[in-house]
């Protein structure tokens, strides 16, 4: 029989495992399955177990069990908020989902350092920088002491070793041991602490392998140096000394430390996205009190306050304009490059930038309620809620480590019982040989070596990869969401065409640019740039006037010139012939912005303005569709323009007039359908969706926030880079699997040999020297195979 119960208090995979393991101990319970998201546990029982028994079983834990659907008042289990100076920490590997901690320390699952969440109250990432600098200092110490150890060990391969002229090998062994001390007991001691923690918790990871492998290599050498007489002759060098493995231990530990240093550096950049968003909000605002303007801190703004926003200032909170008007740069919300003219009763948002006019606004949403604060929160939540990607090496390690330790223990027992005298020494040495040959050097290098070379290759192709997880996911992507402006288009409004209606074309361009040179509107600037590009001289004008929402007018040599939309022409009773209207309508149906130009009360031309589609966009989208990837365009632009661009690019789906949360919700919805989603964008408004997507891809020509939120950046802002990234991902993942095969194959052959399976038949034992050689050969194969990625070609 099956029964479902509600469990209160679970928040992570560790809780899930604890509840399942505790309840399965009840004899009548045959299977326990926790559904973490729903807070439920499904129990399969041989006979009914009373709820009181289930509750008593969980009595010593923080979890409470109730019948399904039971209403219990319980504190909402959500990431801990930041209040004042309280710091919130989380695991960078997201081992326990969105679980957070109130104190710094190590993740109980993977052993990684917990990192602080960025907030306005935090000290600009000081804690994070301290962790990085601490790793950097330890890496320098490890390198300084490891290099001479490596040089001494490798010199033994020389036919006439000059070091032995100074003193015999036994003394050099002591030098190696002394030099290894700072590496093992200072620079990399935390790896052994994490390995110990993983063994105690039963959550085996890469640190388990590193700790056991490097630890046994060092301890073998240490005891071989202090007590050489207890070792059989098979384990001695020609000079009768025991072969040392100090260099193996220190080199492995130093390389792992380098990897941790690179990860810490990458994580500092990851948090820059939130820092950039936080910088959008000003620190102070100007409040109008009894007719006087008073500068106040942001936290003193209250709903209903009247605020003065001066030219060039950032708008402090969300609200409504009550006096004045201006042009507002809202690219941080819409992602569109064209500033928007705002008048009385129009809404404005925090973090957007005012133009060259002053206005008064009333505060309607402050603090965490502003749109900017919501975007920041979305980026944080999306970053933490991304499903943790388990590296192949860690998956294998969870089985590999216990298996190797088990083989070592069995080897020790068999030699103790059946081995020749001195059986204890044979048992100990062969057990150690098993661990040495199974050292995770090759297994540990399998993934990072391929990733390192793959990332380098990506850089050559103009693809900057922030995290290895994106390489693992990129070749699995089946859905791509792209922004329009700046992603498939150039992101710069430009004059596409000047249409003359039986009027001198050069004079038309000159008049258009001359009148617009005094306007601050981006479309006017595009017209002036067009004139300069065509080397057209500008004329002097008089009586210039900007008419809000309609266009501009001025006089040139006493003749009135109007440039604007239909409303401007209608207001000035400018007649437009049927031919003119049809010509303009054709352009508007293609999603273009069209301005009329009237000269002496007659329409003599039209200016077509568009954001040009990048020449490579159609080619890239076709290539992606050929790979079976569904491409969806989501943009904050109007529906007509969006559909026109989509038709030109042969896109099957387009969604217009999107806000930042719309893109993020679409990503979430697709992920719930089982899709692997990549998001490509260039604006601040794309940051939440970039963080939420399985793979975030930013245009290098876009904003810093978008780039920092994304896992992959295309330096040239070319969509063809996504095709290259997909191909690179396939090659890197295949290479990683090959490396893991090489590493495991060598260990699979070497472990039985080290255990002594050949001794009963041939009297042969695998000495630690041969074990080290096999281990080195395994590493050599992995490195050589990874370097093949350097020869990868595009296409």
Cα 573 to Cα 142, 552, 557, distances in angstroms: 82, 15, 21
Q: Is 25 helix (H, G, I), strand (E, B) or coil?
A: coil
Helix axes 522-533, 505-516, angle to 10 degrees: 140
Phi first, then psi, for residue 86 (nearest 5°) are -65, 135
Q: What is the dihedral of CA 258, 263, 268, 273, to 10 degrees?
A: 150
- CA dihedral (408, 413, 414, 415) in degrees, to 10, reads 90
Answer yes or no: are the C-beta atoms of 336 and 637 closer than 8 Å: yes
Give how far Cα 569 sits from Cα of 534, 552, 576, 599, 602, Å. 27, 11, 8, 11, 9
**Among this protein's residues, is 483 annotated catalytic?**
yes
DSSP β-bridge partners for residue 602? 575
Residue tagged 């100076």 (tokens): 85
Token couple for 142: 């490890």
Chain CA centroid to CA 465, Å: 9
Residue 6 near residue 72 (C-beta atoms within 8 A): yes
Cα separation, 664 vs 693, whole angstroms: 8
What SS3 class is residue 608?
A: strand
- Output the DSSP codes for 514-576: HHHTT---HHHHHHHHHHHHTTPPP---EEEEEETTTEEEEEETTEEEEEE-HHHHHHTT-B-
- In the three-class reduction of DSSP (H, G, I as helix; E, B as strand; rest coil), residue 490 is classed as strand
| Contact criterion met (CB below 8 Å) for 575 and 603 | yes
**What is the C-alpha separation between 771 and 779, in angstroms, rounded?**
12
The catalytically annotated residue of 113, 318, 483, 611 is 483
- Residue 167's Cβ-count burial label (10 Å; 0-12, 13-18, 19+) is exposed
Assess whether the previous peptide bond of 48 is cis (omega < 30° from 0): no
| Tokens (6 digits) for 23 | 């309840």
Residue indicated by tokens 């303009």: 584
Residues that are catalytic: 483
């Amino acid at each position: 029989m099956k029964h479902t119960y509600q469990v209160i208090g679970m928040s992570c995979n560790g809780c899930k495992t604890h509840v399942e393991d505790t309840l399965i101990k009840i004899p009548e319970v045959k299977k326990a399955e926790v559904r973490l998201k729903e807070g439920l546990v499904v129990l399969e029982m041989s006979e009914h177990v009373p709820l009181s028994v289930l509750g008593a079983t969980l009595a010593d834990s923080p979890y409470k069990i109730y019948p399904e659907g039971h209403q219990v008042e319980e504190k909402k289990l959500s990431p801990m908020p930041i209040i004042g100076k309280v710091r919130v920490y989380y695991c960078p590997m997201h081992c326990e989902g969105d679980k957070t901690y109130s104190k710094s320390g190590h993740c109980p699952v993977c052993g990684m350092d917990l990192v602080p969440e960025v907030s306005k109250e935090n000290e600009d990432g000081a804690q994070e920088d301290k962790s990085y600098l601490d790793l950097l200092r330890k890496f320098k110490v490890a390198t300084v002491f490891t290099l001479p150890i490596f040089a001494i060990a490798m010199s033994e391969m020389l036919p006439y070793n000059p070091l032995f002229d100074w003193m015999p090998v036994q003394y050099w062994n002591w030098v190696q041991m002394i030099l290894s001390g700072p590496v093992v007991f200072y620079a990399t001691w935390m790896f052994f602490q994490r390995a110990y923690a993983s063994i105690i918790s039963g959550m085996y990871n890469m640190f388990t392998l590193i700790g056991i492998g490097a630890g046994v290599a060092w301890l073998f050498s240490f005891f071989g140096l202090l007590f050489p007489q207890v070792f059989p002759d098979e384990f001695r060098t020609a000079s009768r000394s025991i072969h040392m493995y100090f260099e193996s231990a220190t080199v492995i530990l130093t390389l792992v430390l380098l990897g941790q240093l690179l990860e810490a550096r990458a994580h500092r950049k990851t948090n820059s996205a939130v820092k950039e968003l936080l910088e959008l909000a000003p620190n102070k605002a100007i409040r109008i009190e009894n007719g006087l303007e008073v500068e106040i801190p942001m936290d003193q703004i209250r709903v209903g306050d009247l605020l003065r926003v001066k030219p060039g200032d950032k708008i402090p909170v969300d609200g409504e304009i009550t006096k004045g008007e201006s042009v507002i740069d809202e690219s941080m919300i819409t992602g569109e490059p064209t500033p928007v003219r705002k008048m009385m009763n129009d809404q404005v948002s925090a973090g957007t930038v005012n133009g060259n006019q002053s206005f008064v606004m009333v505060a309607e949403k402050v603090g965490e309620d502003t749109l900017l604060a919501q975007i920041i929160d979305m980026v944080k939540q999306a970053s933490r809620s991304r499903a943790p990607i388990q590296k192949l090496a860690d998956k294998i390690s969870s089985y590999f480590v216990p298996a190797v330790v088990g083989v070592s223990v069995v080897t020790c027992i068999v030699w103790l019982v059946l081995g020749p005298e001195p059986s204890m020494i044979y048992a100990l040495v062969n057990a150690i040989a098993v661990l040495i040959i199974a050292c995770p050097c090759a297994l540990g290098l399998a993934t990072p070596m391929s990733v390192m070379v793959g990332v380098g290759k990506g850089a050559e192709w103009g693809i900057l990869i922030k995290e290895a997880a994106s390489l693992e996911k990129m070749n699995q992507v089946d859905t791509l969401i792209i922004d329009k402006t700046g992603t498939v288009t150039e992101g710069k409004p430009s004059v596409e065409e000047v249409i003359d209606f039986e009027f001198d074309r050069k004079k038309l361009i000159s008049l258009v640019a001359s009148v617009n040179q005094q306007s601050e509107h981006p479309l006017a600037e595009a017209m002036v740039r067009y004139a300069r590009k065509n080397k057209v001289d500008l004329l002097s004008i008089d009586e210039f006037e900007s008419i809000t929402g309609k266009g501009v007018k001025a006089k040139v040599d006493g003749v009135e010139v109007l440039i604007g939309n239909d409303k401007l022409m209608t207001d000035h009773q400018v007649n437009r012939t049927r031919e003119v209207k049809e010509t303009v309508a054709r352009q508007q149906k293609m999603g273009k912005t069209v301005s009329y130009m009237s000269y002496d009360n007659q329409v003599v031309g039209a200016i077509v303005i568009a954001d040009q589609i990048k020449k490579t966009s159609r080619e890239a989208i076709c290539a992606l569709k050929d790979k079976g990837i569904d491409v969806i365009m989501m943009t904050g632009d109007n529906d007509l323009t969006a559909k026109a661009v989509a038709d030109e690019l042969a896109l099957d789906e387009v969604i217009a007039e999107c806000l930042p949360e719309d893109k993020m919700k679409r990503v979430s919805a697709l992920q719930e359908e089982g899709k692997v989603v990549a998001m490509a964008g260039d604006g601040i408004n794309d940051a939440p969706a970039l963080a939420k997507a399985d793979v975030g891809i930013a245009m290098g020509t876009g904003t810093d926030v978008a780039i920092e939120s994304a896992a992959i950046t295309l330096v040239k802002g070319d969509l063809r880079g996504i095709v290259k990234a997909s191909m690179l991902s396939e090659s890197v993942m295949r290479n990683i699997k090959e490396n893991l095969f090489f590493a495991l194959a060598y260990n699979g052959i070497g472990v039985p040999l080290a255990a002594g399976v050949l001794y009963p038949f041939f009297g042969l034992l695998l000495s630690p020297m041969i074990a080290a050689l096999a281990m080195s050969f395994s590493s050599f194969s992995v490195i050589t195979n990874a370097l093949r990625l350097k020869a990868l070609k595009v296409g």
